Amino acid sequence: MERVLFNFFLAMEGVNANKLRSFLTALGIVFGVGAVIAMLAIGTGAKQAILEQMKLIGTNNIVIKGLELTDEGQNGSSSGTGASGSSDSGEKRTYSPGLTLKDAEAIQAILPAAERVSPEVVLATNVVRNGRLEKGRCVGITNAFFDLNNLGLATGRLFHDKHIEQGASVCIIGKEIQARFFSQEDPLGQQLKCGNTWLTIIGVLDRRKASQESLSSLGIRDYNSDVYIPVTTALLRFRNRALVNQNDLGDEDSDEDENRDPNHNQLDQLVVRIGESDKLKASADVIARILKRRHYDVVDFQVEVPELLLEQEQKTQDTFNLVLAAIAGISLLVGGIGIMNIMLASVLERVKEIGVRRSLGANQRDIIFQFLFEAVFISLMGGLIGMALGIGAARGIAAYAEIPTVVSGWSILLSFGVAAAVGLVFGIFPARKAAIQDPIKALRSD
């Protein structure tokens, strides 16, 4: 052990005697380790963001959205799994009942893989209590909505079957509604007016924590700010767009149709839970065919599989991480070659020192340890500086590029281990070359 420590101190003296050269040699390791830490931070942050999004949308869900059709039969959106229904500009569009509760019942009855089907009607309305009025949303749902979206109750109870069957005037509110209208009292049993309808509060949802970026990227609402009512209540007591009204009976050739609602869908969307994830795509295709047949070949709906979209996003992120890993690996390789090159030059410069040590009793192992310690020390110093650079880069990316990054302890340990391994691997050859020098020839060299 004394001999090892003596060789270590000799190695430190050699590094200290050439500070600038040692620092420049370590730069390749600095950038390589920094790139590794930044890459792992970006990859871990992206993975956590996708997991957070998966919690928001639920797993194995298929979302069917009703689309608004123009008079020419073109739907209002061209994206999604469902293809756009179309016709020539001069033709009348084929009648379609739009997205309805009957569609939900048909999907549940026909598709064996469907575990739950959740219809949704979103109604913009005024929320009033004790003279305070705020803009809000009433969302008509069934109890399946809470299960499919991983929403729990903070207090109260869910809807009874009678509430849904009879269209009862009851509601469940989000945490933001509670904070705005019932900050100092228990909301259970209290009444809240939505539009022209008084609703009795029977439950309060747990707060759903989600970043605004996640909500906007997934196109979902802030569940904390909604008032939830049975879907039959929304259709009976608020508005049923599937019913024909006076505006719908107007002259189609008339230009005075500003008041006509282009949205003819009874429901805004359906969410279907599929039992097995490997059946998601096939189930989405079956649902599209079911709805197309029920809507008389008018594709006024859009079928989306959020989980598959997130998986594609993950694949893109993995490709990006692979590119970063290649860049980091090249930097570390260049850094290792630089260490080997400098150590070989150092061996040639210090041939006489090696001869003196050998003549005074040092064996080949002592010489190997001395030069190996120098290489590993240079690599570790570069690794420490690279860690600081990588952590700083990860924080800078998160702050200025708005990309989520997470620097974990294992990524730092991995980078430190990689730096030590690079110094060890690329230092062995120069150390062995120094050890096999002939002491007599070494002493004769200038």
Give residue-wise pLDDT tens across range 194-219.
999 999 999 999 987 765 555 555 55
| 295 in the same domain as 159 | yes
| 146 in the same domain as 28 | no
Asked if 10 contacts 350 with a C-beta cutoff of 8 angstroms, the reply is no
> For 287, phi and psi rounded to 5 degrees?
-60, -40
Measured CA to CA in angstroms, residue 25 lies from 67, 93, 292, 334 at distances of 62, 73, 67, 10
| 199 in the same domain as 173 | yes
* pLDDT value, residue 78: 39
What is the distance between the terminal CA atoms of the chain, rounded to a whole angstrom? 33
| 76 in the same domain as 8 | no
* pLDDT value, residue 209: 73
Question: How many Å is the Cα radius of gyration of the chain?
Answer: 34
Decide which of 243, 271, 306 is a domain's last residue. 306
| 250 in the same domain as 386 | no
3-state SS, residue 38: helix
Decide which of 253, 277, 306 is a domain's last residue. 306
Residue 189 backbone class (left: φ over 0; alpha: ψ -120 to 50; beta: rest): left
Q: Structure tokens of 418?
A: 């990689």
Total domain count, the chain = 2
Decide which of 306, 323, 340 is a domain's last residue. 306
| 326 in the same domain as 254 | no
Distance from C-alpha of 114 to C-alpha of 60, rounded to nearest angstrom = 10
* pLDDT value, residue 216: 54
Residue-wise over 206-230: b if at least 16 C-beta within 10 A, else e? bebebeeebbeebebeebbbbbbbb
| 290 in the same domain as 399 | no
Non-local (6+) Cβ contacts of 316 within 8 A are: none
Residue 211 C-alpha from the chain's centroid: 11
| 387 in the same domain as 259 | no
Question: Within a 10 A sphere around the Cβ of 2, how many other Cβ atoms?
Answer: 6
| 278 in the same domain as 139 | yes
* pLDDT value, residue 200: 94
| 260 in the same domain as 162 | yes
Q: Structure tokens of 361?
A: 């009793």
| 321 in the same domain as 220 | no
Distance from C-alpha of 212 to C-alpha of 292, rounded to nearest angstrom = 34
Q: Which residues pair with 191 in a beta bridge?
A: 200
* pTM score above 0.85: no
* pLDDT value, residue 50: 65
* pLDDT value, residue 103: 92
Asked if 228 contacts 144 with a C-beta cutoff of 8 angstroms, the reply is no
DSSP structure class, residue 133:
E
Give the residues of the chain that fall short of pLDDT 70: 49-59, 69-93, 210-220, 244-263, 307-314, 439-446
| 163 in the same domain as 139 | yes
Q: Which residues pair with 116 in a beta bridge?
A: 273
Q: Supply the range of the domain harboring residue 337.
A: 2-53+312-444
